[in-house]
Chain A
Amino acid sequence: MIAYIVRRLLFLIPTLFAGVLLVFGIMHLAPGDPVLLLAGPEADPRIYDELRQQWGLDKPVYIQCLMYLGNLVRGDLGTSLVTGRPVIADIGAYLPATVELTIFALFLSVVVGVLLGVVSAVRPNTLLDHATRTVSLLGVATPVFWLGLLLIILFHLRLSWLPGGGRIGVNISPPRSITGSYLIDSLVTGNWAALGSSALHILMPGFVLAFAQIARVARITRASMLGIVGLDYVKAAKAKGLKESKVVSRYILRNAWIPILTMVGEVAGTLLGGAVVTEVVFSWPGMGRYAVDSIMALDYKAIVAFAIISTALYAFINLIVDVMYVWVDPRISYS
């Protein structure tokens, strides 16, 4: 198993390499000149040249790409043209917010999605099943920005139950950074005000991000379980007089986990990508917003870094899912 994990991690290197090449190519095909954008159209040519040289843009694209890869190996992602700070520092500031939101949304998606799917599969074609499927359909069909604004109007403006956006209240300083997650860090440091505030702030964006994915998980759970319900060993278990809850949890759900797990891997990737709109609507200071701002400013070092991080995270999630297959189904082996 360890050899398999190491092999998969090694495969990540050419994947990242291809990602960098692709993003570099697209960036240089896109119209616009980042130096012109910052220096202004009537800049002194000396300053313009100096900036192009400083950012390495005076060299051919393949040299720029090679230089970037060389710096990447040393862990240097360059300096952002927009923030003036090292890109790695920016990512350190923005990535934890996205990861925290994504994990929270993933947790919601899996717990609620599997629950709804089980309920739906156990009582097929009943009112409960129809209701669950309707909610699932709504989840897939509802645009994230629309649902987000609707919830802000309801829970923030009308009911005043939840904050309208941000990650923590303005009167509360973020907790001392240990993991970058406000929830975990405030819990670990015993900062209860920060914990309460950050918990209230993550509820709406987390739910909105999870809503569509709850539907996907619920549908795959239902379909996967319905394919197993009629099998002989389930009938035998029922015939033995086992409790229905035991039959569902031990005999049906356990064997339905493989497709659900595959879906969870996909959902995690979608959540990472889908966080962009949610982050904008809920003023969540994450990587999605950082990427959008960087693209608008043609801040290519930040854009490439975003692509690398996204690719790595996606590949890592897939690896975790593959490893979990073995745990869920002992018949699977990577030896």
Chain B
Amino acid sequence: MKRSVRMALVLLLGVTTALAFVAAAYATDLVYARPSLGTKFLDPHQGGNSGRYQNLNLVYDTLVFSDDGGTLYPLLAEWWEASEDYTQWTFQLRSGIVFHDGTPLNAAAVKFSFDRIVGIGNHTVAQWRYMGKDSTIEVVDDLTVRFKLSKPYPLFLTELVYACYGIISPTAVQQHATAADPWATEYFSSNECGSGPFQFAEYVPGERLILAKNTKYWGGVEGVKCAAKVDRLVMRIVPDATTRAIMLQSGEVDIAEQLPVDLLGQLATAPGIKVEYYPLQAFAEIQFNGGKAPFNNEKVRQAISHAIDVDSIINGVERGHVLPMYGVATQGMIGYDPTRQRPTYDVALAKQLLAEAGYPNGFDATLIWATERRAEFDLEAVLIQEYLGQIGIRLTLQSLAWSAELEKQLNADFDMSLMTMTSGTGDPSSIFDKYLAPPHPAAVGQYSFRWVDAPPIVAELVEYGTTIWDPATRQHLYAFLDAVGTAAAVNIPLYQIPVAFAMRSNVHGFVYDTLRRACFYFVSKD
């Protein structure tokens, strides 16, 4: 008996030692804990949730790239040229770039990738899925490609920055295509073949995705995108936030994301850990069902905007880690006006406005939200209920699954909603379109939080914004539109959402930009 115990101990010691040696062999691993990889997480051309954008930028390159301030840079394209009417865009590609399977990048590969977007045609956010049906792409020569658009699109370059325009190896797609799946969507849901600084190494479903450094990366553009500094990026799927925090404290992971505010507070004071906040072009807000009484009454909306002490939400629930927000244009976006003021917290004024609107005794209403959009909404909804109770608005709180909330919004089956909103491309056109433009006649569903009775000139100006390129003119235009929308209290913006990442102190250079790209290629470890 004693002998067998001794044997077991020796075996355990041996295994542990072996494990330690194996661990030492990968000293430059960067381990990143996240709750999920996102849906169809390695295919840029299929649709999916926003979590997957963190992967796509690492393994794919786009023709054009932007920095955090929105300045455009050529990436796979060496230069570009637009026709005067913005219908023809010509891109000259860099030479000598190869995909991860060794296939050279050329104009045919670019055309193939854009054709794949149209071919897959389902639920990608890429506008090309519509534009591509009426537009053509011409392979001028091996390294020159020309897009001939069916209508002028001055913002074409801004659109191409999006990770869903990653260029994929045609050889790899053809290799894995089948008659039933000609674009190899099944294979590329969890595999990749781009030309980015990282490349696929291992995927264990539900457990981890490992990306290895692409040692043949062409180099990128200085300060914008570069070759990876660590050997491997290990993305560990850790669904529980507390477990992510504990693993970070123990050193089992180097970076952790999506941690609630209270855990972030604890981690910020823990030794060997730092918490960094990165502003997103996304914000939290209260939306109104603009087509339904009493929320179709501007004075009711204004009354609510004066009845809520937003600063107490920012400093209390959010502990001051979010940015104040006074319109729908976020900091860093064209149209953002730093001089704009939030409606004052003034209960007397709110009561007066409500009385003027014909509701001196208030009314009953329901506030819906989805905790999965933002965990802090659970507490914030209670605070909002308290504030509105002061002016006689009796709120019923209803927490829903995101799918149920979305359905209620599209069926205009709600009163007020706590939501997060994001600008997909970082350009103001998409966000202003949601609030101030009339409903899209062709869309399946419609956002019911639009400014339903907006003056027609507002919709015309929103449309005009998509036809001009000059940044100064667009700044004036969108700042004006934002002021108009804020005055009408179309919604109540609460705060601009930053994304918090907690990381070990020996991790340097991490950047998470406003387009939700986690730039792991900049990261190094001591």
Q: Distance (Å) between the CB of B291 and the closest chain A CB?
A: 15
Chain A residues with CB under 8 A of B477:
none
Contact B22 A38 (CB under 8 A): no
Kindly specify which of B98-106, B377-385, B441-449 makes contact with the partner chain: B441-449
B247 sits at the interface (CB 8 A): yes
Given A156-B252, A286-B206, A36-B246 contact (CB < 8 Å):
no
User: If A38-B47, A42-B445, A165-B238 touch, does A31 touch B207 (CB 8 Å cutoff)?
Assistant: no
Contact B206–A290 (Cβ < 8 Å): yes
Which of A37, A86, A165, A171 is close to B243, meaning CB atoms less than 8 Å apart? A165
Q: Are B403 and A34 in contact (CB under 8 A)?
A: yes
Interface residues of A in 254-305 (CB under 8 A from B): 280-283, 285-286, 289-290, 293, 296-298
Q: Give the nearest-CB partner of A38 in chain B.
A: B123
User: In the complex, A115 Cα to B442 Cα: how many Å?
Assistant: 69
By a CB distance below 8 angstroms, the chain A residues around B400 are: 31
What is the CB-to-nearest-CB distance from A35 to chain B, in angstroms, rounded to a whole number? Answer: 8
B212 to chain A, nearest CB (A): 13
State which of A18-26, A43-51, A116-124, A310-318 sits at the interface with chain B.
A43-51
Is A93 positioned at the interface, with any CB of B under 8 Å from its CB? yes
User: In the bound complex, do residue B238 and residue A84 qualify as a contact, i.e. CB atoms below 8 Å apart?
Assistant: no
Closest Cβ–Cβ distance, residue A44 to chain B (whole Å)? 6
B349 contacts A by Cβ under 8 Å: no
Q: Is residue A307 contacting chain B, with contact meaning CB distance below 8 A? A: no
Q: Which of A99-107, A190-198, A210-218, A237-245 interfaces with chain B?
A: A190-198
**Is A32 an interface residue when CB atoms closer than 8 A count as contact?**
yes
- B52-65 contact mask (Cβ, 8 Å, vs A): 1 or 0: 00000000000000
B23 at the interface (CB under 8 A from A): yes
Give chain B residues whose Cβ lies under 8 Å from the Cβ of A36: 403, 406-407, 410, 444-445
CA distance A172 to B18 in the complex (A): 11
B142 located at the interface, meaning its Cβ lies under 8 Å from any Cβ of chain A in the complex:
no
- Number of B residues with CB within 8 Å of any CB on chain A: 67
The answer on a CB contact under 8 Å between B206 and A47 is no
B158 close to A (CB within 8 Å): no
| A30 and B121 alpha carbons, distance in the complex (Å) | 28
Q: B190, A83: Cβ atoms under 8 Å?
A: yes
Chain A residues, Cβ within 8 Å of B15: 192-193, 195-196
Q: What chain B residues lie within 8 Å of A192 (beta carbons)?
A: 14-15, 18
Query: With contacts defined as CB atoms under 8 Å apart, how many contacts are there between chain A and chain B in the complex?
Result: 196
Contact indicator A41/B444 (Cβ below 8 Å): yes
Q: Contact between B189 and A85 (Cβ–Cβ < 8 Å)?
A: yes
Would you call A43 and B403 a contact (CB within 8 A)?
no
Q: Do the beta carbons of A43 and B123 come within 8 Å of each other?
A: yes
A41 touches B447 (CB 8 A): yes
**Which one of B31, B250, B410 contacts A41 once the chains associate, using CB atoms below 8 Å?**
B410
B409 CB to nearest chain A CB (Å): 7
A169 at the interface (CB under 8 A from B): yes
- A57 to nearest B CB, angstroms? 13
**Chain A contact residue count (CB 8 A cutoff):** 67
Closest to A174 in B: B204
Most buried by B among A90, A283, A286: A283
Complex contact A93–B206 (CB within 8 A): yes
Cβ-neighbour of A193 out of B18, B186, B190, B239 (below 8 A): B18
B23 to chain A: which residues have CB within 8 Å? 169, 171
Whether A171 lies near B22 (C-beta < 8 A) is yes
Contact B43 A84 (CB under 8 A): yes
| A297-B18 in contact given A40-B123, A47-B121, A90-B205 (Cβ < 8 Å) | no
Contact A157 B123 (CB under 8 A): no
Q: How far does the Cβ of A54 sit from chain B's closest Cβ, in whole Å?
A: 8
Q: Could you tell me which residues of chain A, from 50 to 98, have a CB within 8 Å of some CB in chain B?
A: 50-51, 54, 79, 81-86, 90, 93-94, 97
Q: Which residues of chain A come closer than 8 Å to B407, judged between CB atoms?
A: 31-33, 36
Whether A172 pairs with B443 at a CB distance below 8 angstroms is no
Chain A contacts for B185, CB-based, 8 A: 84
Bound complex: CA A31 to CA B236 (Å): 32
Is the pair B206, A45 in contact by a Cβ cutoff of 8 Å? no
Q: Mark B24-40, 1 if CB is under 8 A from A, else 0.
A: 01100101000010011
Q: Residue A149 at the B interface, CB < 8 A? A: yes
Is A324's beta carbon under 8 Å from chain B? no
Indicate whether A152 reaches chain B with its CB closer than 8 angstroms.
yes
Name the A residues within 8 Å of B242 (CB-CB): 149
B122 at the interface (CB under 8 A from A): yes
- A83-B40, A172-B22 are known contacts. Are A41 and B409 too (CB-CB below 8 A)? yes
Which residues does chain A contribute within 8 Å of B25, judged by CB atoms? 171
Q: In the assembly, what is the distance between CA of A168 and CA of B19, in Å?
A: 11
Contact A298 B19 (CB under 8 A): no
Among B40, B47, B130, contact of A44 (Cβ-Cβ < 8 Å): B130
Enumerate chain A residues within 8 angstroms of B186, measured Cβ to Cβ: 79, 84-86
A86 to chain B, nearest CB (A): 7
Interface digits, A213-227 against B, CB 8 Å rule (1 contact, 0 not)?
Answer: 000000000000000
CA distance A34 to B125 in the complex (A): 16
Is A166's CB under 8 angstroms from B236's CB?
yes
A153 in the interface, Cβ–Cβ < 8 Å? yes
- Judged by a CB distance under 8 angstroms, whether B237 is at the interface is yes
Distance, CA A172 to CA B431, complexed state (A): 45
Q: Is A133 an interface residue (CB 8 A)?
A: no
Given A193-B15, A296-B401, A83 contacting B445 (CB threshold 8 A): no
| Contact residues of A between 151 and 201, Cβ < 8 Å to B | 152-153, 156-157, 160, 163-174, 192-193, 195-197
Residues of B in contact with A (beta carbons under 8 Å apart):
12, 14-16, 18-19, 22-23, 25-26, 29, 31, 36, 39-40, 43, 46-48, 121-123, 125, 129-130, 185-186, 189-190, 202, 204-208, 210, 234, 236-240, 242-243, 246-247, 249-250, 252, 372, 400-404, 406-410, 440, 442-447
Known: A31-B403, A39-B47, A79-B186. 19 other contacts (CB 8 A): A30-B404, A31-B407, A36-B444, A38-B123, A42-B443, A47-B129, A50-B122, A51-B123, A86-B186, A149-B246, A156-B250, A164-B243, A164-B247, A164-B252, A170-B31, A195-B15, A283-B240, A285-B206, A296-B401
Q: List 17 A-B contacts (CB under 8 A).
A: A31-B407, A33-B406, A36-B445, A37-B403, A38-B39, A38-B47, A41-B445, A44-B129, A47-B123, A47-B129, A84-B190, A94-B206, A166-B207, A170-B29, A196-B19, A280-B240, A297-B403
What are the 10 tightest A-B residue pairs by CB atom distance, in nearest-first order? A285-B206, A32-B403, A196-B15, A84-B189, A93-B205, A31-B404, A39-B123, A41-B445, A285-B207, A42-B443
